[in-house]
Structure formats: C-alpha cells, structure tokens
Amino acid sequence: MGCMSSRSVFTVTATARCGVGGLGAAVNTMSSSCVALLALALGAAGCDGFADPSREYGAPVIGEATHGTLIESPQTLGVVDSPLVDVNGTPIGVECETCHGPNPATSWAATPGKPFHTGVGVTEGGVRFLNKHGHLRCDNCHTEDRLTVHLADGTHLSLGDTMRLCAQCHGPQSRDYQHGSHGGMDGFWDLRQGPRTRNNCVVCHAPHAPHFEPRLPAKGPQDWYLRPKPEFTEEGEAPDSEEATHG
C-alpha cells in the first residue's frame, strides 16, 4: 500500500498513520484520546490507492445490451379545446371521435358563431384558425375521415407511428431523437442493466400546437449570497434593505 502525501508538511502524519497499519493498530498502542486529538489536529492523511484493492471497483457488467427502449406512443387521437368552457373558464376538451367518428355528435360541432377547432393551427373551409403549425391543412396529415394519418406519398400510418410523419419536415429533430439527444427519457443509460422509456413526438408537442409555450420556472436557489444586494445611496444603505444573513 503506497501512502503518499502531495504536501511535505503532512508526510510525517501519513507515514505515522499508515506505517503502523492504520489507525486501528495505533489505538492499541496509544491512548485513544491521543490518537483522536492527533487525528483532529493533523487529520490529513489520505492514501492514493485503496488499502483493499478489491474495493476499487464494483462487479463488472457482463453481456450485451439486451434491454430495449420503450417509446411512449399514443394510439389514439388527442383532445381539442372546444369553445365551451367550464366554471373555471378552462375550455372543455373534446375527443376527435366525438364528431369525426362513426356516430358523430353533430350538435357539438355546430356551435353557432364560434369556430370549433380552437387551438388547432389549421385553415379549414376558408376559416383561418390559430396559426401554430405553419400553413398546414387537415389533409396534409389526416386521411379523409380525420381519424388516421398519412405520409406525403399517401402511405397510411397507424397513430402509434406518427414519428415518421413528423420526420418528413423535422429532419434534424428526428436525427437527434434517434441518437438520444432530443426528448426526455427515463430509466437506464446502460441497456445491459435495464430498459429505457422515451416519448414520441406528440407526447410533448401537441400536434396542432407544437410549440412549447413560455412557462414559469421551478423554484430557484435561495442562498443568502444570491439575494439582491442592498442599494447604497449617498446617505448610506437604503432603509428598506435587509441585511444578508446566512440562510
């Protein structure tokens, strides 16, 4: 066991503590208080290597990356905000199938005087709704019944496979996603030891309004030295300033 201190001041200590087989052995020969005080006063003897080399590493991980990556892929269409609001003023969400399914509830769709697809950035029937996804029309992505989607070349896609649809325009994002540098994930970096969960595009980006709206951040640090500094005037410290104290 090589015990060396980088500072010559502590070399004596290091030799004394390690040279007699560590503190445990020393306790037997000296009174414990002396050792304790010595340790307190000079407690500066770390060793560069491990006394027990088997403690340096844990068990090696053997085998291939057998665990997979599960991608959260919603299999159904989402919910759109309707012009109706609840008591809190929050728009009531309506599932697409309510109107576009086999048994449409037409009364919902025909709210007079108000466009229905609030928050859906599309042009529909000459009416311009919120422009949040470029100048796309429904038909650019949806099939005629509006319940499934298709690629630009007409290939039908299941709703769980929409990442291919998004990748048609968002190439760099798709490339980054495939290399694990876009979109959040959970689980294991080491696929030899456990699986990973990822999101597909529409889990985070609402397809009709994909941009993240600005939001309030989580709580910031509250260290005493980060608090606003008191402002100084010609008369001295401003009267309303609080003196910074340790938090």
Note the residues at the interface with another protein (CB under 8 A): 5-7, 10, 18, 22-24, 27, 31-33, 35-36, 39-40, 43-52, 54-58, 60-61, 172, 176-177, 179-190, 192-194, 204, 212, 214-224, 226-228, 246-247
As a whole number of angstroms, the distance between CA 142 and CA 136 comes to: 11
What minimum distance in Å lies between the beta carbon of 233 and another protein?
23
What minimum distance in Å lies between the beta carbon of 112 and another protein?
35
**Is beta strand 232-233 parallel, antiparallel or unpaired with respect to 196-199?**
unpaired
Is 104 or 247 the residue whose CB approaches another protein more closely? Answer: 247
As a whole number of angstroms, the distance between CA 206 and CA 162 comes to: 12
Is 137 or 175 the residue whose CB approaches another protein more closely? Answer: 175
What minimum distance in Å lies between the beta carbon of 128 and another protein?
25
Which tokens belong to 179? 């290399």
Is 17 or 133 the residue whose CB approaches another protein more closely? Answer: 17
As a whole number of angstroms, the distance between CA 103 and CA 97 comes to: 8
Q: Given the structure tokens 């010559």, which residue do they identify?
A: 8
Q: What is the DSSP letter of 198?
A: E
Q: Do residues 157 and 77 touch, judged by C-beta distance below 8 A?
A: no
Q: What is the DSSP letter of 77?
A: -
**Helices 11-19, 22-29: inter-axial angle, 10-degree rounding:** 80
Is 10 or 129 the residue whose CB approaches another protein more closely? Answer: 10
Is 129 or 188 the residue whose CB approaches another protein more closely? Answer: 188
As a whole number of angstroms, the distance between CA 217 and CA 195 comes to: 30
Which residues are registered as beta bridge partners of 206?
209
What minimum distance in Å lies between the beta carbon of 195 and another protein?
10
Is 52 or 240 the residue whose CB approaches another protein more closely? Answer: 52
